[in-house]
């Protein structure tokens, strides 16, 4: 290693360790040795210290031995006339720097508990996210393991101007990398520049503003250490394994932008321990391959328009670029991005207009592969903020294509469209909701690009199942309504394919973990009588999906021994759930809302909630925008129970599921329903009446309240009493 870099790194390490010692002494004087310290909501303490030294720092006093280790690791300062130092002392100095910086950051959490937002997104008045908690780790870390995100760029400092910052960030996003940001250069910070350039930052867009100071670099390194411990089976204290795991599997590098201070050198040297090289835009000395990496450790003076390409080359990352012919960036990094308020150019669906998406089979000679038609007004025909109804119809043909595959391709539309920068997609079937941003429109995004995305990506991912696909996009009210009607008839037919099946007649259920990219621990297990809560996947669909893609998101689950027949709990399902939720849940019940119901994710068609005063339950569909008797609108409900957790008293479910015989059987099934929006009642009436008839209460629907009766429990209770609703005389629901 170059003498200049080594001396600077060692000098920097001394400064950082001294600062940590000073902060620690002051904190000890103020709070004492037993004061709890740490990063929020994590089982990994100070993760670098824990990963490398195996020391769980829980109290201020626990920091003392760590600081002692820093002192032992710190090499003496390099003298002017001393011989050329070699790499090892600089690496040790870098390691000591990270330990010391974790201590500094932990003490900051003690001194200023609200310095960081402690969530996934910045807030209006706070940009700094601080350490990722374990929820974020589980959700995002898995992407480092399954290859959705190959690694990260740790950026320190700032670009010369916001435009350059934006270009670098987008290039990194396109390579599916996370961007971890810290520190400042000449009073400017990369995260602030992105905001200035109108870029949405936060974990969902993979642009993570960790903190304003260089010490926030430990949040990036700590994240890598935790990935190795939580997904790689590396134990705390197994430092060599942790370093090697990351060198081999995490494609990370450090990108200092601007003047490289002694402290920055110290951090860069620390990162080399993990095999993470440094690629700088300033003319610092270069360091060529030696023992640790087979590639350069430090590459310098790289122009901004080449820095991402150069970094990726140095680190040896092979990026599978998805060739999608759209004028905006495209990839999983843009999946979580939202389009809001002033940014909206065009909105479709979401309760404001009709929006429907449908994949349907056609004869071979009826389909011209890649043909995209927009029938009706296009984006450029509406003034922002505009609205249009939309029907997206994908017509598929193929010798091996089966009708059973339609819903599977259809369910891909959600994430495939979301991958486009500046386009947001929520929902499915006839509750789709799309927003297109002004920025995307400025870049030339038009409605036909939705079709181009589907054509390119469905061929890429599902090409074995079909030969040709063409896409028709309707935006004229009348045509949309016509498609809506046709599609709804098909949805009903698809749903009804499992009509005769019961949960008892099969030993195999299917999992669906498609939604884990949004709700990390969410696991749908789909049985014949419990359709997926998005309403888009039933048991048949999952079976077909497994046939197409045996290693995909729908796996057979052997239901195994019955644990509770009434609640709907099976040993095999529990075991699967435990594995698929990565240890978060060890059981749930298929047929109950009160007793550990299934996990709920954000795309459920309906959410049911217990209404204690009425001794019943209500359920509300996504397209109903009004207030409900549980005191929350659908959006609020989805926000509070839709994160992939179990919330007793609430459960997400599909519309069709209401009329399946096992629907909330543990609480008495549909006899417990005391409130539903009128539109939902009308939609499911026919099937509902049949079920009610079977139960011997043919007029049950008429005894159920809706918004025309009231929107609070107090308001609907007299109606229920008057109608002698069966729920009122049933066992107490919260028994």
Q: Which residues bind ligand SF4 (CB under 6 A)?
A: 411, 512-515, 524, 532-534, 536-537, 601, 603
3-state secondary structure of 678: helix
Task: Transcribe 535-554 into DSSP letters.
Answer: SS--HHHHHHHHHH-TTSS-
CB of 429 to ligand SF4, least distance (A): 11
> Counting contacts by CB under 5 A, is residue 515 touching Zn ion?
yes
> Counting contacts by CB under 5 A, is residue 603 touching Zn ion?
yes
Q: Tell me if 720 sits within 8 A of 705, measured CB to CB.
A: yes
- The option from ligand SF4, Zn ion, none interacting with 584 (CB < 5 to 8 A, set by class) reads none
d(CA 324, CA 456): 6
Q: Which is nearer to ligand SF4, 421 or 660 (CB)?
A: 660
- The option from ligand SF4, Zn ion, none interacting with 514 (CB < 5 to 8 A, set by class) reads ligand SF4
Q: Which is nearer to ligand SF4, 388 or 603 (CB)?
A: 603
- The option from Zn ion, ligand SF4, none interacting with 532 (CB < 5 to 8 A, set by class) reads ligand SF4
Output the six-digit token pair for 590: 């298929």
CB of 524 to ligand SF4, least distance (A): 3
CB of 511 to Zn ion, least distance (A): 13
> Counting contacts by CB under 5 A, is residue 379 touching Zn ion?
no
Cis omega before residue 385 (within 30°)? yes
CB of 457 to Zn ion, least distance (A): 19
Strands 606-611 vs 616-621: parallel, antiparallel or unpaired:
antiparallel
Taken as a whole, the chain contains a residue count of 735
CB of 610 to ligand SF4, least distance (A): 21
Q: How many residues bind Zn ion (CB under 5 A)?
A: 3
3-state secondary structure of 484: helix
What share of residues in the chain are helix, strand, coil (percent, to 5)?
A: 45, 15, 40
- The option from Zn ion, ligand SF4, none interacting with 524 (CB < 5 to 8 A, set by class) reads ligand SF4
CA distances from 580 to 244, 543, 563 (A): 27, 18, 19
> Counting contacts by CB under 5 A, is residue 523 touching Zn ion?
no
Output the six-digit token pair for 575: 């075991």
In 438-582, at which residue ranges do the beta strands (DSSP E only) sit?
468-474, 508-512, 524-526, 556-558, 562-564, 569-570
> Counting contacts by CB under 5 A, is residue 153 touching Zn ion?
no
Q: Which is nearer to ligand SF4, 437 or 647 (CB)?
A: 647
Name the segment binding Zn ion (CB under 5 A); options: 35-43, 262-270, 429-437, 513-521. 513-521
- The option from Zn ion, ligand SF4, none interacting with 536 (CB < 5 to 8 A, set by class) reads ligand SF4
Question: What value does the CA radius of gyration of the chain take, rounded to a whole number of Å?
Answer: 28
CB of 604 to Zn ion, least distance (A): 7
> How far apart, in Å, do the first and last CA atoms of the chain sit?
71
A 10 A CB-CB count for 536 gives 26
3-state secondary structure of 556: strand
Name the segment binding Zn ion (CB under 5 A); options: 10-18, 595-603, 649-657, 700-708. 595-603
Strands 508-512 vs 468-474: parallel, antiparallel or unpaired:
unpaired
- Helices in 74-118 by DSSP H: which ranges? 87-111
- The option from Zn ion, ligand SF4, none interacting with 441 (CB < 5 to 8 A, set by class) reads none
> Counting contacts by CB under 5 A, is residue 638 touching Zn ion?
no
> Counting contacts by CB under 5 A, is residue 601 touching Zn ion?
yes
CB of 408 to ligand SF4, least distance (A): 10
CB of 516 to ligand SF4, least distance (A): 7
CB of 601 to Zn ion, least distance (A): 3
Q: Which residue's Cβ lies closest to ligand SF4?
A: 532
Q: Number of H helices and number of E strands within the chain?
A: 22, 25
Binding site for Zn ion (CB under 5 A): 515, 601, 603
């Amino acid at each position: 290693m170059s003498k200049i870099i080594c001396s600077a790194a060692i000098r920097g390490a001394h400064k950082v360790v001294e600062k940590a010692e000073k902060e620690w002494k002051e904190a000890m004087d103020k709070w004492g040795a037993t004061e709890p310290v740490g990063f929020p909501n994590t089982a990994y303490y100070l993760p670098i210290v824990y990963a490398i030294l195996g020391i769980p720092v829980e109290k201020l006093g626990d920091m003392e031995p760590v600081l002692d280790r820093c002192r032992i690791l710190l090499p003496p300062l390099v003298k002017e006339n001393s011989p050329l130092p070699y790499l090892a002392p600089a690496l040790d100095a870098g390691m000591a720097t990270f330990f010391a910086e974790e201590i500094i950051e932990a003490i900051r959490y003690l001194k200023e508990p609200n310095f960081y937002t402690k969530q996934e997104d910045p807030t209006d008045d706070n940009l700094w996210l601080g350490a990722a908690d374990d929820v974020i780790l589980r959700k995002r870390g898995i992407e480092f393991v399954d290859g959705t995100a190959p690694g990260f760029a740790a950026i320190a400092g700032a670009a010369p101007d916001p435009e350059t910052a934006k270009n670098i960030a987008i290039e990194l996003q396109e390579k599916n990398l996370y961007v971890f940001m810290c520190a400042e250069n000449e009073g400017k910070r990369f995260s602030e520049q992105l905001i200035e350039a109108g870029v949405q930052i936060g974990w969902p867009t993979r642009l993570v503003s960790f903190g304003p100071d260089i010490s926030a670099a430990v949040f990036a390194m700590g994240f890598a250490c935790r990935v190795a411990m939580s997904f790689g089976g590396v134990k705390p204290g197994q430092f060599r394994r942790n370093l090697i795991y990351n060198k081999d599997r995490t494609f990370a590098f450090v990108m200092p932008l601007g003047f490289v201070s002694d402290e920055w050198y110290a951090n860069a040297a620390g990162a080399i321990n993990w095999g993470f090289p440094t690629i700088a835009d300033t003319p610092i000395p270069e360091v060529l391959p030696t023992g640790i990496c087979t590639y350069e450790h430090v590459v310098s003076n790289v122009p901004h328009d080449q820095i991402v390409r150069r970094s990726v080359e140095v680190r040896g990352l092979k990026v599978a670029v998805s060739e999608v012919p759209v004028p905006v960036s495209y990839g999983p990094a843009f999946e979580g991005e939202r389009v809001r308020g002033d940014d909206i150019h065009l909105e479709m669906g979401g309760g404001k207009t009709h929006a429907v998406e449908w994949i349907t089979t056609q004869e071979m000679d009826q389909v011209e592969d890649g043909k995209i038609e927009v029938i009706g007004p296009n984006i450029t025909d509406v003034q922002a903020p505009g609205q249009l109804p939309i029907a997206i119809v994908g017509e598929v043909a193929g010798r091996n294509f089966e009708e059973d595959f339609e819903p599977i391709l259809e369910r891909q539309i959600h994430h495939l469209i979301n991958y486009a920068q500046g386009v947001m997609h929520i929902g499915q079937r006839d509750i789709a909701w799309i927003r297109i941003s002004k920025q995307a429109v400025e870049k030339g995004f038009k409605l036909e690009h939705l079709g181009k995305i589907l054509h390119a990506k469905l061929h890429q991912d599902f090409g074995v199942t079909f030969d040709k696909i063409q896409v028709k996009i309707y935006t004229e009210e009348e045509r949309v309504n016509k498609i809506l009607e046709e599609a709804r008839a098909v949805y009903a037919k698809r749903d009804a394919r499992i009509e005769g099946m019961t949960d008892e007649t099969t030993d195999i259920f299917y999992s669906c973990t498609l939604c884990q990219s949004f709700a990390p621990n969410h696991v749908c297990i789909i049985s014949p009588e419990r359709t997926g809560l998005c309403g888009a996947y039933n048991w048949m669909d999952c079976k077909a999906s497994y046939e197409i893609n045996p290693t995909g998101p729908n796996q057979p689950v052997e239901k195994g021994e019955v644990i509770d027949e009434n609640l709907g709990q099976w040993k095999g399902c529990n075991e699967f759930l435990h594995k698929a939720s990565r240890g978060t849940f060890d059981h749930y019940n298929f047929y109950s809302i009160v007793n550990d119901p299934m996990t709920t994710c954000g795309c459920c068609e309906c959410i049911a909630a217990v209404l204690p005063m009425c001794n019943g339950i209500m359920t509300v569909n996504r397209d109903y925008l009004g207030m409900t008797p549980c005191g929350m609108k659908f959006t609020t409900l989805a926000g509070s129970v839709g994160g992939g957790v179990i919330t007793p008293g609430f459960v997400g479910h599909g519309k069709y599921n209401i009329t399946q015989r096992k629907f909330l059987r543990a609480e008495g099934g549909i006899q417990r329903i005391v409130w539903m929006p009128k539109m939902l009642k009308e939609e499911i009436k026919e099937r509902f009446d049949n079920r009610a008839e079977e139960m011997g209460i043919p007029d049950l629907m008429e005894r159920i309240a809706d918004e025309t009766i009231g929107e609070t429990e107090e308001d609907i209770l007299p109606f229920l009493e008057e109608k002698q609703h069966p729920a009122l005389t049933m066992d107490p629901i919260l028994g």
